[in-house]
Structure 1
């Protein structure tokens, strides 16, 4: 289905929709790739996160073209929302991120990182509201406002909009990225699953119609300060260096008390 144009306020040449589940390990594993993509080519694209709370994940990956869709210019969501009781954990996680997003996009990103730290590094579950509240505290949110929003129609409606976008773009697997350029007559490209970095770069080149010069990568220390959590393989991939050299650089930072090792992860402590 065709649309009338890009969303208002989008001035960059490409628009990328990133469909994620906060509790999906593959979505978290893709983060270093996306961070490198943003550093090198972020001047050419706007990135929009779309949350998926529950999903029947398909086996394998897909890479195909899709039409532009009406969801790109806004979705009319239902005012009345019926919730299951008890709510499934994936839904609760996505709803909590949308509640945090009501305090701003950066607030939601900080909250999501805290949530993923609890799940993927500390190995905890989020079956209790207290866990979500602790994430809000650690993310520097207005905690009382977050608690109120967590049970408000606004957060539910915002998540419902994301779910409707995913349904209309026929997204059935996470992570999924959908690329659109500024020509409304062109089709978008949808790619599901995790791929090597060069695949996403090739897609950007194809959608732009030329090969831009990538921006320079920052020092590893600066990247870690932004990423907070990385593996040695992440650093090796981002900086295109051997695993042994990445390990050596991270150990140097540990001696400087800039990072600490938690299992297979390196955590920035600055």
Structure 2
């Protein structure tokens, strides 16, 4: 049920603060539809269990994804058994010799790393805007002008973004992500690797799109106890934080039937808080309030 009386909360401070018992590495490819399909699960985990973990995006890229961007999103799969991976202390990126390469299909991932140089929050905003352009607007994000437009709409310093996307610092950051991907033996996206706050201990790796309960199960195994959930935020706060969400995302997050979600969203539509967008992936709602 959506709690309309619950006070506003600083969601970014809640989900991105430090000093938490768990750290999650989220391996994604911006062109991977399954990564986009997993976003509702990630959002709900952050809102309900964000006080337990910090989330780090690790960018990857796969040529095969260029031919699959337009296929339907996969919403569920059979859960995969998680496996152990290396410790974080074994990963060192100091030996990487950065080489600037803006060739497709990696330009989207490199652009996200360029945005991250303006801060973690900026990087997340840019990634969400990039996904909006790919899946809602069907834009070709291998074009530099489209990436610059995403930077503008993400409230980035566009001049800095233009410099950074061609810089060795950005190239080094992306190549470091690729090294982490290799060191942790990540062979597909999306993949999430769970670590506790003891850097010398191995992490647990979970690949593919799994049910919400599976991710909580992995967290519980590492913590040694079942995590306690935090109340979900008010609906408008949820939409404002995410900027655009689908009817399906809202229904999943709040455990509501689609008809009830449509009713609530039509109220916000009349209040000119949101804009409705029809796509091949379903109905999306964009915050404009």
Q: Which category describes the TM-score, using the shorter chain as reference length?
A: 0.7 to 0.9
Distance in 1 (CA, whole Å) between partners of 2:260 and 2:277 is 19
Secondary structure class of the residue paired with 1:148: helix
Spell out the pairing of 1:33-112 with structure 2 (5 A cutoff): 33-54=41-62, 62-70=80-88, 74-81=92-99, 83=101, 87-112=102-127
Spell out the pairing of 1:224-235 with structure 2 (5 A cutoff): 224-235=239-250
| Shift in Å, 1:269 | 1.2
CA contact (8 A) 1:65 1:187 kept: no
| Shift in Å, 1:163 | 0.3
CA contact (8 A) 2:244 2:287 kept: yes
Secondary structure class of the residue paired with 2:227: coil
| Shift in Å, 1:127 | 3.2
1:208 — aligned with what?
223
Range 88-97 or range 65-74, more displaced: 65-74
| Shift in Å, 1:61 | 7.1
Cα shift readout 1:206-241 (whole Å, capped 9, x = no counterpart): 211112321100111111111111111111110111
Secondary structure class of the residue paired with 2:50: helix
CA contact (8 A) 1:20 1:50 kept: yes
Which of 147, 157, 165 aligns to 2:180? It is 165
CA contact (8 A) 2:114 2:170 kept: yes
Distance in 1 (CA, whole Å) between partners of 2:36 and 2:121 is 17
Question: Which 5+ residue runs of structure 1 have no aligned equivalent?
Answer: 1-8
Distance 1:80 1:231, change over 3 A: closer
Provide the aligned length of Structure 1 versus Structure 2: 258
Distance in 1 (CA, whole Å) between partners of 2:275 and 2:30 is 24
Distance in 1 (CA, whole Å) between partners of 2:240 and 2:158 is 25
| Shift in Å, 1:185 | 6.5
TM-score (norm 1): 0.88
TM-score (norm 2): 0.82
Which of 6, 14, 20 aligns to 1:12? It is 20
| Shift in Å, 1:158 | 0.4
2:286 — aligned with what?
267
CA contact (8 A) 1:60 1:193 kept: no
Spell out the pairing of 1:149-160 with structure 2 (5 A cutoff): 149-160=164-175
2:7 — aligned with what?
none
The question of 1:257 aligning with 2:272 is answered yes
Secondary structure class of the residue paired with 1:230: strand
1:23 — aligned with what?
31
2:150 — aligned with what?
135
| Shift in Å, 1:19 | 0.3
2:12 — aligned with what?
none
| Shift in Å, 1:14 | 0.9
Secondary structure class of the residue paired with 2:54: strand
Cα shift readout 1:25-73 (whole Å, capped 9, x = no counterpart): 221221121111111111111111100023668x987433213334666
Question: Which 5+ residue runs of structure 2 have no aligned equivalent?
Answer: 1-16, 66-76
Distance in 2 (CA, whole Å) between partners of 1:116 and 1:217 is 24
Distance in 1 (CA, whole Å) between partners of 2:88 and 2:237 is 39
